[in-house]
């Protein structure tokens, strides 16, 4: 599941703020050096994607609350 998503890895939970949380060997195999300092643009893009995910989560929670109120 590694080659999906904006950062080339299906493990999106550790990419929200760039590549700092990325674990070794996830997608690139031996000999691939991961940069430690993402660019300002990479950080911004990562944060924007994270914000979209949070907004989707809020929408889901609101829908769940509405469903529970209808049934109860």
Q: Is there a domain that residue 66 lies in? A: yes
Report the alpha-carbon angle 48-6-41, nearest 5: 50
CB atoms closer than 10 angstroms to residue 49: 16
pLDDT, tens digit, 9 for 90 and up, residues 24-65: 445 666 777 778 899 999 999 999 999 999 999 999 999 999
The Cα 63–Cα 28 span in angstroms is: 38
What domain count does the chain have? 1
DSSP-derived letter for residue 4 is -
- Global pTM exceeds 0.85: no
Distances in Å between the alpha carbon of 9 and those of 3, 17, 19? 5, 14, 11
Look at residue 29 and tell me if it is in a domain. Answer: yes
Q: Is residue 3 part of a domain?
A: no
Note the pLDDT tens digit of each residue in 2-30. Answer: 444 444 555 455 444 544 444 444 566 67
Is 60 part of any domain? yes
């Amino acid at each position: 599941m590694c080659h999906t998503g904006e950062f080339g890895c299906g493990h999106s939970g550790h990419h929200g703020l760039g590549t700092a949380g990325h674990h070794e060997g996830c997608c690139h195999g031996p000999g691939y050096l991961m940069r430690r300092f993402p660019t300002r643009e990479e950080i911004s893009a990562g944060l924007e994607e994270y914000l979209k995910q949070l907004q989707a989560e809020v929408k889901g929670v609101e829908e769940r609350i509405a469903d529970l109120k209808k049934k109860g």
